[in-house]
């Protein structure tokens, strides 16, 4: 196998890996958002329908909301790991494209190389955290996960310490 064929083969595999990791990240996000909404709805229903049920002096609705935190945190870590792998894969693809581009005609070089076109980067970023400082997606994703965790903590406190109003007895 010639060097060019090996480079192209490696590049294709890297692009396949990038696509796979991107799908895994989407799945992790969708799963955690769905679970957050579903379990929080269950906790709110328990708060209304079973306000006097306690387990180890924790109101059942607050306990269910605590469990939500135990689901979100590992999912957050998993998503960060996928993002780190995606970062590494993109850097590998950029390096391979930099080796492939000189072998192409001058006018077609950067416009047909997928990673260069999508990221608009010419060379690999030095470190993961350095790249994340400039990533809008990273900031938005961090804010969403932190909001969900803060919302869970807030709801635990509400469910535990605020006695629900009995809607049926109000005039």
Answer whether residue 89 shows pLDDT above 50.
yes
Average pLDDT, the chain: 87
> Of the ranges 47-51, 125-129, 147-151, which one carries the lowest mean pLDDT score?
125-129
pLDDT at 106 over 80: no
Percent pLDDT > 90 in the chain is 60
pLDDT of residue 167: 55
DSSP string, 45-107: HHHHH-TT-EETTEEHHHHHHHHHHHHHHHHHHHHHHHHHHHHHHHHHHHHHHHHHGGGS-GG
* pLDDT score of 20: 96
pTM: 0.81
pLDDT at residue 109, as a whole number: 54
The predicted model gives 85-90 an average pLDDT of 91
The domain segmentation of the chain, as residue ranges, is 3-163
């Amino acid at each position: 196998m010639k060097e060019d064929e090996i480079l192209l083969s490696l590049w294709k595999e890297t692009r396949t890996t990038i696509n796979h990791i991107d799908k895994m990240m989407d799945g992790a996000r969708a799963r955690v958002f769905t679970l957050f909404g579903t379990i929080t709805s269950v906790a709110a229903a328990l708060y209304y329908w079973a306000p006097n049920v306690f387990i180890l002096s924790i109101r059942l609705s607050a306990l269910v909301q605590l469990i939500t935190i135990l689901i979100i945190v590992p999912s957050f870590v998993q998503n960060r790991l996928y993002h780190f792998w995606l970062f590494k894969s993109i850097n590998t693809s950029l390096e391979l494209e930099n080796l492939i581009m000189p072998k192409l005609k001058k006018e077609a070089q950067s416009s047909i190389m997928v990673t260069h076109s999508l990221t608009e980067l010419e060379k690999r970023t030095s470190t993961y955290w350095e790249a994340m400082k400039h990533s809008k997606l990273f900031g938005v994703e961090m804010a969403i996960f932190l909001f969900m965790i803060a919302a869970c903590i807030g709801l635990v406190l509400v469910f535990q310490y605020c006695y629900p109003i009995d809607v049926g007895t109000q005039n």
